[in-house]
Amino acid sequence: MLTNNLHRTDIYRWWEAKRWEYNKGLLISGAFGSVFAWLAMALEESAYLAIDASIVIIITFLLFYGLYMTAANLLYYLGFAIDSTFNINNDEDIRHILFTCGYWVSVLTVPIALFIYITILMGTVPDHNYQYPV
């Protein structure tokens, strides 16, 4: 564990300097997530579901995105906590690895989750050309 407060302060400054890069990634991820959510609404409407389903998707997306942002910020703080606690040699490479792993996990979570949701939704879209046996 680092006992020198100067090192901990330097580590904190490094992580804070990276905050904008991290938040930019989250913003871009949220934009892609919004596109996926709108695509899901379009698929549901084409499946002749009630208009209320669109509202449910928007509310679900906003709740999920709020939880996602909370988790992403906790993950960001976790990177700093692990770095300042276990990186006793103040190794810059370890710091970059922690940041990169946290960044990509956080940035890819929403698009992947919504892609999976849309894939499941497409599997449940009724086939209106299906010929029922007589």
What are the per-10-residue average pLDDT scores of the chain (134 residues)? 66 94 90 76 59 67 82 91 90 94 89 77 61 62
Within 8 A by CB and 6+ apart from 32, the residues are 110, 111
Instruction: Supply the pLDDT for residue 79.
Output: 92
Beta-strand (E) ranges in the chain? Answer: none
Instruction: Supply the pLDDT for residue 16.
Output: 94
Pairwise CA distance, residues 78 & 63, whole Å:
22
pTM of the model: 0.72
Q: Is 58 left (phi over 0), alpha (psi -120 to 50) or beta?
A: alpha
Q: Are 109 and 28 in contact (CB under 8 A)?
A: no
90: helix, coil or strand?
coil
| Cα dihedral across residues 38, 24, 8, 86: positive or negative | positive
Count the residues in the chain. Answer: 134
For the chain, domain boundaries: 19-124
Instruction: Supply the pLDDT for residue 45.
Output: 60
66: helix, coil or strand?
helix
Instruction: Supply the pLDDT for residue 125.
Output: 53
Instruction: Supply the pLDDT for residue 54.
Output: 64
Q: Is 130 left (phi over 0), alpha (psi -120 to 50) or beta?
A: beta
Instruction: Supply the pLDDT for residue 7.
Output: 77
